[in-house]
Amino acid sequence: MLIHDLLSPERISFDVHARSKKRLLELISQKLADNSTDLGQREVFESLITRERLGSTGLGGGVAIPHGRVKGIRHVEAAFFRLAKPLAFESSDGKPVDVLFALAVPEDCGEDHLKLLAHIAELFAEPGFMTELRATNSPAQLLKLLSGTGQ
């Protein structure tokens, strides 16, 4: 599964403003539910909150990958957010996040979603890639960057 195939321009947001982690997860839930017949905003939000209660999805380096299993969906749904100002996210390094790649995965996804998470985390841990990613200003630029990496 290629990362750029999971994203559509409608699910890419730049300069997002959020005052709290909870509000940010609400915005992510809404974005994932928009343009989807399978996803409800409330179900997505509950799955993200449930996962965050197990431990923060903030990886460090300003990156988080909020994700949750959602009953009733058939395939992985993704959204990308870049924040206007970094936000405290209880990340492993204690630093706030400004880049988020969110996933809603089917409840029965098995190990596939773990491989996807590991793949995203590996890509987003590359300093050169993150410099380029943070310099993108449009969905088209972001999708081009992701497709150029073969991801």
**Residues labelled catalytic:** 67
Residues 6+ apart with CB under 8 A from 25: 45, 48, 49, 52, 66
Give CA–CA dist 108/113, Å, rounded. Answer: 10
Query: What single-letter amino acid sits at 57?
Result: T
Give CA–CA dist 94/47, Å, rounded. Answer: 23
For 143, the token pair is 């999708």
As a whole number of angstroms, the longest Cα–Cα distance in the chain is 38
